[in-house]
Amino acid sequence: MIKRLASLPQFKIIVSTAVCSLAFLYFLFGLELNIPLSVILVGLLYLGIHLLLVTYDPQVSLYEQTIKEANRKLNGIRHSVLYITDIRIKTQVTEIINITEQVLKYIQKKNTSMPLVRRMLTFYLDNTLEIVEKYASLQNQKYIDPSTMAIIKKIEDLITSIRINFESQLNKLLKNDLSEISIKMDVLKEILQMEEGQ
């Protein structure tokens, strides 16, 4: 209930006004400051409280922040993939994007942000974005010397490993989901058998 109340715009205004009114009285009578100085201090206090309450949104949960950040990173990867000319690598990066989208749909459906998923959508996706951007940049250079070519080859191998890792993470999620369903079915079956026996 407090979260719902705190999300209302009126609540933020009422809290800011109440705190500032009390602060004004304290500055004026308690500290015996003059009226202009009290007004300035209260104005600064109101601004600070208002900014604090506006930036704090109890409705935004951890999984929503994860989804928002993951989508931002995915957009960066989508943008970079446009500049990749190697069809095999372009396909693998596109598969990474598709797998990540499936994971995002999964956590939105489940309304959860498990540690495994958060790590995938934060640490792994951060590094994937950086690697794909670097690959696109290196691959499109006019002159590619042997050392750059060696780096490009290492990045291509790494992109393949990332795709395999992302597939593995998605399979773990789906396997966990199937395990949950299986457990629920077993429990329901036992309950039904117990009720039949009565």
Residue 66: pLDDT over 60: yes
Q: How many domains does the chain have?
A: 2
Q: Are residues 43 and 119 in the same domain?
A: no
- The larger pLDDT score, comparing residue 172 to residue 16, is at 172
Residue 174: pLDDT over 80: no
Q: Are residues 42 and 64 in the same domain?
A: no
Q: Are residues 132 and 173 in the same domain?
A: yes
Q: Are residues 72 and 136 in the same domain?
A: yes
Give DSSP secondary structure letters for 101-157: HHHHHHHHHHT---HHHHHIIIIIHHHHHHHHHHHHHHHT-S---HHHHHHHHHHHH
Q: Are residues 162 and 179 in the same domain?
A: yes
**Domain limits for position 69:** 58-194
Whole-model pTM?
Answer: 0.60
Q: How far apart are CA 177 and CA 157, in angstroms?
A: 31
Q: Are residues 95 and 168 in the same domain?
A: yes
Q: Are residues 112 and 166 in the same domain?
A: yes
Q: How far apart are CA 25 and CA 198, in angstroms?
A: 71
Q: Are residues 88 and 131 in the same domain?
A: yes
List pLDDT tens digits, range 101-113: 888 887 777 665 5
Q: Are residues 64 and 46 in the same domain?
A: no
Give DSSP secondary structure letters for 82-113: TT---HHHHHHHHHHHHHHHHHHHHHHHHT--
